Amino acid sequence: MNDGNLAEMQAQLADLHEQVRRLSEENAHWRSIAEDTDNGRIMLRREAELELIKEVGTAILVERDLQKVLDLVADMARKLTGAEMAVLPLMDEDRSTYTYAAAVGKHAEEVLGSRHGLDMGMCGWVLTHERPLLFGQPEGWWMDSRTRWEEGMESAVLVPLCAQQRIIGGISVLGKTGGGSFSQHDLDMLTLLANQVSHAIENARLVQEAKQLVATLEQRVCDRTSEMTALNKELEAFAYSVSHDLRAPIRSIDGFSLALLEDYGEHLDPEAQDYLSRIRGATLRMGRLIDDMLKLSRLSRTEMYHETVNLSAMAKRIAEDLLTREPERHVEFCIAENLTVRGDTSLINGLMENLLGNAWKFCSKHATAQIEFGILDQSEEHGENSGHMRTFFVRDDGAGFDMSYAAKLFGAFQRLHTAQQFPGTGVGLAFVQRIINRHGGRIWAKGAPEKGATFYFTLAQPPHEDSAKPPAILRISRVPLPDR
């Protein structure tokens, strides 16, 4: 900025200050004249009253504490009207009673917090009839239902508070300080004040109710957390009991059965030896059940560590392990590449091992089989790739299942096939569902007897990953498969 512009701005600023000074002097001059006349004094008093109402309106608009808002309004009502006492009755939730939520002046301590029916007192009349009331001397229509602090009051003004097209309470002043009666002007001032503050009172009331609701919910969460902590401790105690107390007798049964077979087997007929073998087989299954029960109980308490997990690499490793374990099997794995999710690596590994292991197991009765792992796109029937969730599947062409029993699939220790048909304890899919639930996803299945099964599940997509491009398919097998 050059010196010329700066000098011009300084000159304009000096001129503005001079204009303000002259206006202030003129205003002071006319106010002094107004104060010398009755009409002028009335005008100035009205101006001060309006300014006071404006100030209290501004103050309570930013105040969110209901009691502070009510106290401000009660104090302002008393000052505006020169009343001995000002009270604010608010309608209760059932709208059949009202409570004095704020009170200042005479009898304030006695009045504050008291509750009455709508058929009681002047406030009850105003709230019921939804219109203001101004009177100078007590009249007979309310004498039988008056409250103690209304006795002896020679004058009163009451106006309703309205918000959202309903009565929420009122403002009442009783007894003119120094005697006399309230005027129409007092009624007008209270009505103006009520119009100014009613919405602020309702907003503060809603904020208070919201805070109370939050506090109640927080307490419920705290109570629920305490209950869950106690239940977890009980579960841990049960798991300890299962792990130690039940295993000991099982080991004894298995040990003594083995001793009988080894030491006295030659003295036992084939049927007795078969009985002992069955006892040992049952103890082995019982041990596996205990292991699975412990696995399920620990799953809900396992701390999760979220990171990017490569499902395709995980599926490839599991497939190679299965093929190495039984190299004579004619099974081909078709694995979509570069599929990643956001989750806990350890838990998701358990999920994939169970789903692919199940597919491997239920294909074992077929001479050749194919197991697929992939992702659905938006156009497919079950696709749920919306937002941050992606839908994956594990599909096989093995034994399948009857859809009428689909509800039993994910229940603990529920089996659709006998142990003689396919080994297992019936815990694997329950384990899978709990893992999916802990990751905020869902799992479901479709199948048909001897036509295979498909398990669909949703998991979160890693941030900033584009899933629009179709993945490449990796095929893995150990024994060349015949033409399918």
Residue boundaries of the structural domains of the chain:
38-211, 229-298, 305-476
Residue type, 405: Y
Cα separation, 16 vs 188, whole angstroms: 39
Which of 44-48, 308-312, 464-468 is least confident? 44-48
Q: Residue 368: is its pLDDT beyond 80?
A: yes
Which pLDDT score is estimated for 381? 45
Which pLDDT score is estimated for 424? 60
End-to-end CA gap in the chain = 87
Which pLDDT score is estimated for 66? 77
Which of 21-25, 208-212, 297-301, 314-318 is least confident? 21-25
Which of 2-6, 428-432, 447-451 is least confident? 2-6
What is this structure's pTM? 0.50
CB burial of 165-183 (b: ≥16 within 10 Å; e: otherwise) equals: eebbbbbbbbbbeeeeebe
Most confident listed range (121-135, 344-358, 425-439): 344-358
Beta-carbon contacts of residue 385 (< 8 Å; ≥ 6 apart) = 375, 376, 377, 378, 391, 467
The chain-wide mean pLDDT, for the chain, equals: 77
Q: Measuring CA to CA, which residue among 184, 121, 190, 189 is closest to residue 161?
A: 190
Q: Measuring CA to CA, which residue among 317, 297, 167, 179 is closest to residue 241?
A: 297
Which pLDDT score is estimated for 17? 52
Q: Strands 368-375 and 330-336, how do they pair?
A: parallel
Residue 73 and residue 201 in contact, taking contact as beta carbons nearer than 8 Å = yes
Cα separation, 160 vs 435, whole angstroms: 58
Chain-centre distance for alpha carbon 245: 41
pLDDT confidence tier of residue 140, bands split at 50, 70 and 90: very low
pLDDT confidence tier of residue 309, bands split at 50, 70 and 90: very high
For the domain with range 38-211, which CATH number is right: 3.40.640.10, 3.30.450.40, 3.60.140.10, 3.40.50.1970? 3.30.450.40
Total number of residues shown for the chain: 484
Which pLDDT score is estimated for 57? 57
Q: Residue 119: is its pLDDT beyond 70?
A: yes
| Residue entry with tokens 């815990």 | 427
Residue 108 and residue 243 in contact, taking contact as beta carbons nearer than 8 Å = no
φ, ψ for residue 171, nearest 5 deg: -120, 130
Indicate the Cα dihedral angle 416, 411, 351, 360, nearest 10°: 0
Helices (H), 326-427: 345-362
Helices (H), 265-310: 270-299
Q: Residue 5: is its pLDDT beyond 50?
A: no
Which pLDDT score is estimated for 41? 52
pLDDT confidence tier of residue 137, bands split at 50, 70 and 90: very low
pLDDT in tens, 447-481: 888 888 899 999 988 876 665 667 777 777 665 55
Q: Measuring CA to CA, which residue among 297, 335, 294 is closest to residue 314?
A: 335
Chain-centre distance for alpha carbon 140: 55
Kind and range of the H or E run holding 171? strand 166-176
Chain-centre distance for alpha carbon 231: 22
| Tokens matching residue 195 | 């119009």
Which pLDDT score is estimated for 257? 86
**Beta-bridge mates of residue 90:** 99, 169
Q: For helices 345-362 and 311-325, what crossing angle results, to 10°?
A: 40
Residue 269, SS3? coil
Q: Residue 138: is its pLDDT beyond 50?
A: no
φ, ψ for residue 82, nearest 5 deg: 65, 40
| Tokens matching residue 420 | 């003689």
CATH number of 305-476: 3.30.565.10
State the maximum Cα–Cα separation within the chain, in Å, rounded to a whole number. Answer: 133
Residue type, 387: G
φ, ψ for residue 301, nearest 5 deg: -100, -5
Share of the chain above pLDDT 90, in %: 10
| Tokens matching residue 194 | 């009520």
pLDDT confidence tier of residue 415, bands split at 50, 70 and 90: low
Which of 63-67, 155-159, 311-315 is least confident? 63-67
Kind and range of the H or E run holding 161? strand 156-163
Higher pLDDT, 481 or 435: 435
